[in-house]
Structure 1
C-alpha cells in the first residue's frame, strides 16, 4: 500500500497543478517587487513626410532640405524622412507604499503576493492528504473485496446444501413451503453479493490504476495482506497540534494576511504618489546631421476629489480583512469537529468489532459441538450447516469492519491535516 501511495503522489495531476500554481505565484512576487524599481523603455520611429504647407507653421521646410523648422510662407511641395530614437526612464519615488524601491519586501503588493503563494502552498498540502486518503480507500476496499471472495463463495455453497436439505425435508413434510422460499431468497442474495463483490474489486483495480497513472488494461497484482491498524493518537494533543499546523487553518491565516495587505494598498492610494521621469530623444533627418533632446520631470499625483470612491474602496478592503479574520475561528471549529467525528466513528466501529469477535468465538464453539454431535450420529445436518453459515457470515462481517476501520484511520489523518501520520 505504501508503494501505491508513493506512486500516486508522483502521478497526481492535482499536485502537479498545485506545483505550477506555486511557480506562478513566485513569479507574481517577483513582478510585484520589480514594479517598484526603475524601468527603462526604448523606442525607434521612422517617419516619412510629403505634401504642401497647411498653415503658418510647417514640420518640413523646403529650403532646408526636409529639416524641422518654421516655414516662412513658401507653399512649395516638400518631402523628407525623419528617424526618432528615444529612451524613457521612470522611477517610482513614492508609490503604493514604496520609497525609492528600497523597501520592496515590505510593500503591500509584495506581501499580498507572498500571502497568496502561502495560500496555494497550504492548499497543495491539503490536496496531498486527499490523494493519500483516496488511494488508501481504494486500496483497502479493493483488497478487502478480494479477500472476502472466499467467505461469500463458502456462504453460497452452504446455502446450496441447506436448500437441498430443506427441499428434501419439505417433500417429507418435515418443513413448510415457506422454509424453502426463505432459503432460496437467502441463496439468491448470497449469489448477488458474490457478483457485487466481484464488480467492486474490478472497479477498485480500475480506480487504483488511474490513480497510479497506469493504463486501464494494465495488469498488476495487489498484496492480499492489509496493514495492521495503528494505535489511536491522543485526542487532546492531536487537536492542539492541528490548530497550529492544519493546512486549512494556515491557508485561512494566509488569506487574512492577503486581505490585510490589499487593505494597506488601498490606503496608500489615498496619499500622493511621486514619480521621476526622464527622456532622451535623438532625431535625425539625414541632412543636416540629427540633434538630440534631453528632458526630465518630477511628477506628483495628488488625489483631490473622487466623490469618496477611493475611501469607500479602502473601507471595503478593511471589511474583507475583518471577515477573513472571523472565518479563521470557523476553520478551527471545522477541524476540531472533523477530528471528533473521525474518533467517534473509530470508537463505534471498534465496539462492533469486539462484539463480532465474541460472536465468532461462540459460533466456532457451536460449530465444533454440532460437528461432534453429527459425527456421533444424533446431530441434524441442517444444524451444522446453519451454525457454519453463521460463522462464515460473522467472519465476513469482521473482515469488512476491519477494512472499514483502516479507512477511518486514513480519514483521521486527513482530518488532522497531516499533523498525525499513520501513512507516509
Structure 2
C-alpha cells in the first residue's frame, strides 16, 4: 500500500508526522477492528557545496579550509589528511546544514601540494558511504630574479641577447623599465612553480642603453627587484694570483676582467714596503708598469692574454660570464722578503677600470703579496722568465719527470718537483750525486 501526501505544502524535516492505519470490519457498522500508528520521519540526502579545489596561502601564514554541507538527520562533518587518513577535525550538527573549518597555522613549503578530504555523512540511510570532496593546499613562493651577470658588457651598435631567470609560485610576471621582455619559457620544474626564462633582446646598443634598468618580478606572494646595467667599460679587474710566492724576486700576476670591446692596455702599480719595520711602513720602491694588450703590439714574452673565443681547454679556470678576458704578467726584479701592494688598471677604447676598492677616495686595493726570503736558490731562472707568462701557468697542470744534466764533467740528477705558486712551477736546484 502506498501512502501519498496530499497538498503542496512541504513537510518540515523535524515535523512530528503520524499516519494512522486502521483495519475496518466489512460487516455491520464498519467498526475498527485493528489500528496501528506509523510515525513518518523526513531525511535529506548528503551534499557538499562550495568547496574550492585549491587553497593558496603564503608561507608562514594560516590556511583556512572550509567544508559546507547539507544533510539530515545527524549531519556529521570531518576533515582528514589524504596522505594518511589522519582525522584532523570533526563535528556533528542537529540541523540540516553545517560548516566545518580546518585552520592550518604557520604553513610551510613542505605542505605544498598536500590534499585534505572533507567527509559528510548522516545516520540515515544506514550503511551509505560518506560524500567526500578534496582541497589541495598550494603554498605561494615569492619571486626571485637571477641573471648570469647583472652587468652587461657591450659595445655601441652591438646586438645584446640575454635571459632573465625567474622563479616563484604562481608564475610571476616580469617588467623591466625600458627593456622589451618576451613571454616566459619554462626551463626547469624546480623549485615549485618552476624556473622560467624571459628573453631580452636589444637589436643595436645606443648611448641611451648605457644606463641601469630596473626589473621587477611579482606574484601574489610578493616581488623581487634587480638592477641590470649596460656598460661599455671593462669590469673592475679581479686579481686571481695568490698572496705569496716561493721566489725571492719574482711573482706571476694573474687577473681577469669582462669587456666586449677588445682591451687596449693595462697598468700595474706595485708598491713595496717592509711591514716588519719598527718605524712603520718604509717605502722601498714604487713602480708603474704599462703593457699593451693589443694583439698587434703586445709583447708576448711579458704578457699573455686569453680573449673571448680563445681555446681555454689547457687551463682549468672556470668562466665567470660572457666576454671574460684572462691576463698574465711576469713581475720580476722584486725585493726579497717584502710585502707588495698591487693594483691593476685596464682600458678598452671606451673607458678604464681599476682594481681599487673605493672609486671615490681612490684608496689602493688591499691586495698584497709577499716574496720569499732569499735562501741562495729561489730566484727565478732565466729560462722560465723567457717563456710567455701563460705557459708558466700551464706548467702547474703538468708533472715533470726526472732529468739528467752534465755538471763539471759528471752527471748530476735533477729532479723537478712541482710547487703551485700562482700558476708557476718552482724548480728545485739540482744536487750533485
Please indicate the TM-score interval, normalised by the length of the shorter structure.
under 0.3
Structure with bigger RCO (C-alpha 8 Å, 6+ apart):
1
State the TM-score, normalizing by the size of structure 1: 0.16
Pick the structure with more helix per residue. Answer: 1
Q: Structure 2 length as normaliser, TM-score?
A: 0.16
Greater strand fraction, Structure 1 or Structure 2: 2
